[in-house]
């Protein structure tokens, strides 16, 4: 299966549609700040999820970022918010056809929260909490899809965002990494591209539309053992 990983889409669904049409992935995994703002659909330039045209892709699976309507996600009736557009709650997993298990953990801190309005465009549920870490699946996890990064990478990434400091979500992700030790890890949030390793975990930070062309990449094929 051709799997495309994307960073922060930020409601740029027309840009996402262009990439889908050009790259023709079968599955898309998105690293948060996807752009879920149902209260603002069709107003102020905010596009509804129904604007996503999957075309060749069978589905898109995404975790939440800090910039989503977290109350609407809390009150959702189903994870499939539009046909083929599937929200992956924090701590949920998905098994790829090749057998690899993907774990999703959205969440992160908004550095601009003081400029936003609670319940309108900012929600206190944006950061990862202990509740999100409770009852995690007891399975082997091969791939992480998260919104932000672990503590170990904050100082590397904050060069372009000096106002960003270590926050609870970073600590939580470090604990998650220590527990699962996945082979691959993809995240967004920082609007920049980075490739590095944490012990044996290969880590990729993806950018966002408008912040360079490294906001998407193909999932590496499963290594034969």
pLDDT tens track for 8-31: 999 999 999 999 999 999 999 999
pLDDT tens track for 114-140: 999 999 999 999 999 999 999 899 999
Question: 3-state SS string over 16-72?
Answer: HHHHHHHHCCCEEEECCCCCCCHHHCCCCCCCCHHHCCCCCCCEEEECCCCCCCHHH
**Complete domains list, the chain, with CATH:** 3-218 (3.60.21.10)
Q: Is the pLDDT of residue 161 over 90?
A: no
Q: Is 95 helix (H, G, I), strand (E, B) or coil?
A: strand
For residues 153 and 147, the answer to whether their CB atoms sit within 8 Å is no
pTM: 0.96
> What integer pLDDT is reported at residue 83 of this predicted model?
96
């Amino acid at each position: 299966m051709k799997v495309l990983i994307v960073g922060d889409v930020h409601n740029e669904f027309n840009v996402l549609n262009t990439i889908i049409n050009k790259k023709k992935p079968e599955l898309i995994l998105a690293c948060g700040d996807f752009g879920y703002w149902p209260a603002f659909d069709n107003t102020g330039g905010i596009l509804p999820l129904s604007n996503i045209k999957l075309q060749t892709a069978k589905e898109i699976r995404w975790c939440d970022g800090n910039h989503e309507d977290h109350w609407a996600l809390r009150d959702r009736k189903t994870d499939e918010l539009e046909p083929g557009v599937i929200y992956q709650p924090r701590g949920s997993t998905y098994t790829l056809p090749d057998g690899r298990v993907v774990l999703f953990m959205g969440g992160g801190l908004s550095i601009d929260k003081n400029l936003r309005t609670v319940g309108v465009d900012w929600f206190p549920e944006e950061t990862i909490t202990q509740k999100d870490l409770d009852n995690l699946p007891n399975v082997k996890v091969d791939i992480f899809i998260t919104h932000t990064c672990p503590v170990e990478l904050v100082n590397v990434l904050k060069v372009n965002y000096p106002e960003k400091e270590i926050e609870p979500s970073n600590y939580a992700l470090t604990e998650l990494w220590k527990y699962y030790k996945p082979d691959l890890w993809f995240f967004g949030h920082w609007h920049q591209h980075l490739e590095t390793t944490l012990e044996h975990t290969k880590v990729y930070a993806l950018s966002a539309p408008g912040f360079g062309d490294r906001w998407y990449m193909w999932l590496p094929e499963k290594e034969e053992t």
